């Protein structure tokens, strides 16, 4: 199993992603995040860290907030970016080292922000096709049990 320490910083960049909803009965999200209904998960601060030369993995961070509670059930990026994406959490092993573990889903409690941040939860990219370069963007697709599919343009940035 791949182990990697991720010592990365949280950025304050606000990412207003494309809003979409696959369920016809759901409220259509509004452009303003303040007006987004319970059915939509608010996604802020999503960004990827630049990857060192030769690195085969990368990480994406950000904050998710569901007004009515939801579950993140899948993450993906285009095959032109990476071979696969997984939801990861960090846990301390018996030796006191931090290990990453893939989780099949991520619960979003009602009105409680869930932060994907260095040292904690993150979206992990494996088999990078090329390095993640600061200033570039990648497309991240998030699939929610209630809110449906959301597609974000995620900037690559140092912090
Ligand atoms: Cu990871």
Q: How many CA atoms lie within 13 A of 15 on its CB side?
A: 27
Return the sign of the alpha-carbon dihedral for residues 69, 71, 77, 78: negative
Q: Nearest to residue 144, comparing CAs of 23, 3, 27, 36?
A: 23
Going from the Cα of 91 to the center of ligand 1, the distance in angstroms, rounded, reads: 11
Using the mean position of ligand 1's atoms as its centre, give its distance from the Cα of residue 27 in Å: 33
CA distance 33 to 65: 11
Question: DSSP code of 158?
Answer: -
Inform me whether the pLDDT recorded for 1 exceeds 80.
no
Count Cβ atoms below 10 Å from residue 67 Cβ, excluding itself: 16
Among 96, 90, 18, 19, CA closest to 61: 90
DSSP three-state, residue 34: helix
CATH (one of 3.20.20.100, 3.40.630.30, 2.60.40.1890, 2.60.40.720) for 33-155? 2.60.40.1890
**What are 69-98's pLDDT values in tens digits?**
999 999 999 999 999 999 999 999 999 999
Domain residue ranges of the chain, discontinuous segments joined by +: 33-155
* Per-residue pLDDT at 39: 60
What is the helix (H) or strand (E) element at residue 154, kind and residue range? strand 148-155
86 CA → ligand 1 middle, Å: 8
Cβ-in-10-Å burial (0-12, 13-18, 19+) of 106 comes to buried
In angstroms, what is the span from residue 113 Cα to ligand 1's centroid?
A: 20
At residue 40, the pLDDT reads: 84
31 CA to centre of ligand 1 in angstroms: 31
Lowest mean per-residue pLDDT among 28-32, 41-45, 72-76, 128-132: 28-32
Exposed / middle / buried, residue 124 (Cβ in 10 Å: 0-12, 13-18, 19+): buried
């Amino acid at each position: 199993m791949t182990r990697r320490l991720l010592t990365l910083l949280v950025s304050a960049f606000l990412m207003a992603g494309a809003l979409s909803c696959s369920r016809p009965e759901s409220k259509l999200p509004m452009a303003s995040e303040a007006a987004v209904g319970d059915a939509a998960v608010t996604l802020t601060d999503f960004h990827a860290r630049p990857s060192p030369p030769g690195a085969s993995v990368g990480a994406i961070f950000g904050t998710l907030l569901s007004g009515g509670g939801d579950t993140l059930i899948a993450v993906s990026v285009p095959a032109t970016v990476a071979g696969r994406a997984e939801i990861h959490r960090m846990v301390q092993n018996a030796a006191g080292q931090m290990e990453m573990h893939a989780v099949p889903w991520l619960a979003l409690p009602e009105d409680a922000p869930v932060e994907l941040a260095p040292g904690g939860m993150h979206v992990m990219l494996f088999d990078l096709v090329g390095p993640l370069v600061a200033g570039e963007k990648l497309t991240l697709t998030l699939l929610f049990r209630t809110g449906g599919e959301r597609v974000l343009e995620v900037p690559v940035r140092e912090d």
